[in-house]
């Protein structure tokens, strides 16, 4: 059986479902974002705690949008049936960056309450002064503008060309998308590495890691893929996905998710083993805080929950081909990666001499609030174009992926 043209149209019921999902997600997001902001004045909160929790939620979902752009560029470069099926979702996710990039503003405006190196005490520190060429507020602001312009500009350019590809069915446009994506992927890794250093790594002002940026990006891709896979299982209930999706597509997406789980574990283990073997005071402080004072339980949750359990669940081929099963695993991975982001932020604010576990209700409200906002934007963006890229040269090949002929 092969696909036919009649199956390419988006079912009216699906468009209504996406609109309804956007409204529900937006409502939930506004409630929890409102609670997060109110936390400035409520018990268990305060301005500093608000900013820490804000960073957790923002980083998790800003990263999901950025990763959608990276996956999109990777698909334009490599092709593949897996990418054709999820291209519109990647575009919808990348378009959330039009809003999410403004999330940097509170962190810049109130930087002295969360980034020690921006305070008078920090700028007077000899180590920070030695890094002043990079770690200074004006240049930090300029870098943030560059990150935002790149992400928004690339999203705008690629989605516009993708729309043109649909309208013209021109292979020249397809080739142009590939040519733009090649330097785009390289620029993405460079710029987002600096972004990770600026907004997360400098929370521990003396500490550094040469693979930190890659760790952040892989975590973003894991989150984005998980969201897209979970949404794909819901889209399959209506056309064009009811007719277009096969178990082979899920198998491919499951293998990608499995690869990201493995890569996340590999990079985290690599950073740990290098730090452990070096045993330098300025480096081990990062792990001292995360292995003591109650934080060791979080490390165990991540070891078994972010790696061992997903590894065992996704290693099976039949499991990866089951939409219901892989949906549950995908949603679970988004939740457990939120714990990972929490562990990247909160321990930086405890003393390494006497680490003390801390969890605020804002650390839970913020990721839910930003998640609702992100999903509202995602579901709103999704039906703005046909849910399948009609001008993609390999569309029919992708839709027939895994079918008998």
Cα separation of 229 and 232, whole Å? Answer: 5
**Does some domain include residue 274?**
yes
Does the structure show a pLDDT above 60 at 1? no
**Does some domain include residue 245?**
yes
Give me the pLDDT at residue 370, please: 98
Q: How many CB atoms lie within 10 A of CB 42?
A: 13
**Does some domain include residue 401?**
no
Does the structure show a pLDDT above 80 at 129? yes
Cα separation of 328 and 392, whole Å? Answer: 30
Range from 30-34, 79-83, 101-105, 201-205 carrying the lowest mean pLDDT: 79-83
Q: Mean pLDDT throughout 81-95?
A: 91
* Buried/exposed 134-163: b ≥16 CB within 10 Å, e otherwise: ebeeeebeebbeebbebbbebbeebbebbb
**Does some domain include residue 403?**
no
**Does some domain include residue 400?**
no
Residues 6+ apart with CB under 8 A from 237: 14
Domain count, the chain: 1
Give me the pLDDT at residue 7, please: 53
Whole-Å CA distances, 172 to 184, 218, 291: 18, 31, 54
Q: Mean pLDDT throughout 334-348?
A: 96
In 3-state terms the chain splits into helix, strand, coil percentages (rounded to 5) of 80, 0, 20
- The mean of the pLDDT values for the chain is 92
CB 127 within 8 A of CB 206: yes
**Does some domain include residue 377?**
yes
Q: Mean pLDDT throughout 240-269?
A: 91
Instruction: For residue 120, count CB atoms less than 10 angstroms from its CB and return exposed for 0-12, middle for 13-18, buried for 19 or more.
Output: exposed
Tokens of 400: 């027939």
Q: Give the model's confidence band at 22: pLDDT under 50 very low, under 70 low, under 90 confident, else very high.
A: very high
**Does some domain include residue 100?**
yes
* Residue 32 belongs to domain spanning: 7-395
Give me the pLDDT at residue 404, please: 57
**Does some domain include residue 1?**
no
Q: Mean pLDDT throughout 46-74?
A: 97
Give me the pLDDT at residue 190, please: 97
Task: Tell me 202's DSSP state.
Answer: G
Range from 4-8, 147-151, 243-247 carrying the lowest mean pLDDT: 4-8
Cα separation of 178 and 46, whole Å? Answer: 47
Question: What is the residue whose two structure tokens read 């895994």?
Answer: 402
pLDDT in tens, 359-404: 999 999 999 999 999 999 999 999 888 888 888 888 887 777 766 5
């Amino acid at each position: 059986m092969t696909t036919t043209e009649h199956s390419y149209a988006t079912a009216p019921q699906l468009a209504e479902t996406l609109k309804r999902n956007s409204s529900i997600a937006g409502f939930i997001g506004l409630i929890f974002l409102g609670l997060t902001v109110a936390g400035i004045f409520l018990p268990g909160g305060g301005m500093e705690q608000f900013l820490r929790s804000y960073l957790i939620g923002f980083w998790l979902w800003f990263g999901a949008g950025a990763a959608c752009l990276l996956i999109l560029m990777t698909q334009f470069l490599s092709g593949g049936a897996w990418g054709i099926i999820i291209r519109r979702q990647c575009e919808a996710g990348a378009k959330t960056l039009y809003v999410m990039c403004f999330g940097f503003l509170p962190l810049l405006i109130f930087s002295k309450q969360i980034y020690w190196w921006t305070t008078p005490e920090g700028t007077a520190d000899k180590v920070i002064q030695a890094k002043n060429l990079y770690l200074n507020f004006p240049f930090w602001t300029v870098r943030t503008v560059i990150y935002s312009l790149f992400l928004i500009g690339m999203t705008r350019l690629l989605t516009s060309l993708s729309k043109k590809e649909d309208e013209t069915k021109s292979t020249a446009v397809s080739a142009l998308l590939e040519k733009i994506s090649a330097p785009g992927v390289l620029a993405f890794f460079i710029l987002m590495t600096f972004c990770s250093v600026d907004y997360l790594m400098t929370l521990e002002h003396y500490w550094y890691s040469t693979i930190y940026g890659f760790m952040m990006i892989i975590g973003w891709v894991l989150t984005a893929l998980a969201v897209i896979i979970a949404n794909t299982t819901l889209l399959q209930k209506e056309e064009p996905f009811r007719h277009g999706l096969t178990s082979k597509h899920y198998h491919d997406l499951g293998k990608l998710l499995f690869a990201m789980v493995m890569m996340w574990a590999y990079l985290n283990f690599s950073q740990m083993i290098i730090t452990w073997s070096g045993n330098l005071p300025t480096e081990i402080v990062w792990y001292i805080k995360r292995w003591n004072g109650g934080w060791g339980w979080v490390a165990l949750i991540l070891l078994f929950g972010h790696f061992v359990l997903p590894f065992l669940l996704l290693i099976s081929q039949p499991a990866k081909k089951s939409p219901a099963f892989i949906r549950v695993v995908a949603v679970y991975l988004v939740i457990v990666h939120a714990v990972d982001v929490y562990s990247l932020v909160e321990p930086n604010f405890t003393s390494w001499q006497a680490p003390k576990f801390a969890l605020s209700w804002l650390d839970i409200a913020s990721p839910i609030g930003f998640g609702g906002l992100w999903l509202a934007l995602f579901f709103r963006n999704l039906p703005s174009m046909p849910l399948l890229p009609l001008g993609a040269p390999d569309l029919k090949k992708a839709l027939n992926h895994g079918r008998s002929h």
